[in-house]
Amino acid sequence: MTDMPRTATPRVLVFSTNSISDPGIDLAGSRHMHYSPGVVVISLPCASGIQPGWIVHALQHGFDGVFIAADGDECAYLSDCSSRSAAIVQAAQKALSERGIAASRVKMAAICSVCAEPFTRQVTEFIESLAQVVV
């Protein structure tokens, strides 16, 4: 279980990527598309650099969900970025399960540099899905 109590407004940590998904998230704001202010973003160069431990740390310390806005096939660094990112998510989910935290609190989706609407929709749906998660 988590070390900190969950808050009324679901808190979601998004890991984005500087060149691909972060511009997509920026574009959502530029178009004044709304999503929950409980969503905060840490941008990294590449989704394959996310440490599974960061995901576990975030969920243990009060975030309700972690959303990885991955590059998909657009990654400028690594042609196998998608499979690397998937392996990171799996490793994090395994570690979460061992700690009694639902693996469904982690979601990954490819968000491109113009994916304003998909990001807004997916992160909103993710927050809605978290309401059904009990651990």
Instruction: Kindly list the residues in this chain that would bind other proteins in the complex (CB under 8 A).
Output: 4, 7, 9, 11, 13, 18-20, 22-38, 40-46, 48-54, 57-58, 61-63, 74-79, 81, 84, 88, 91, 112-114
**How many residues are listed for the chain in this entry?**
135
Q: Which is nearer to other proteins, 114 or 135 (CB)?
A: 114
Least Cβ distance, residue 78 to other proteins (angstroms): 6
Least Cβ distance, residue 81 to other proteins (angstroms): 8
Residue 94: in which H helix or E strand, if any? helix 81-98
Kindly state the tokens that stand for 45: 């160069």
Least Cβ distance, residue 134 to other proteins (angstroms): 20
Q: Which is nearer to other proteins, 46 or 107 (CB)?
A: 46
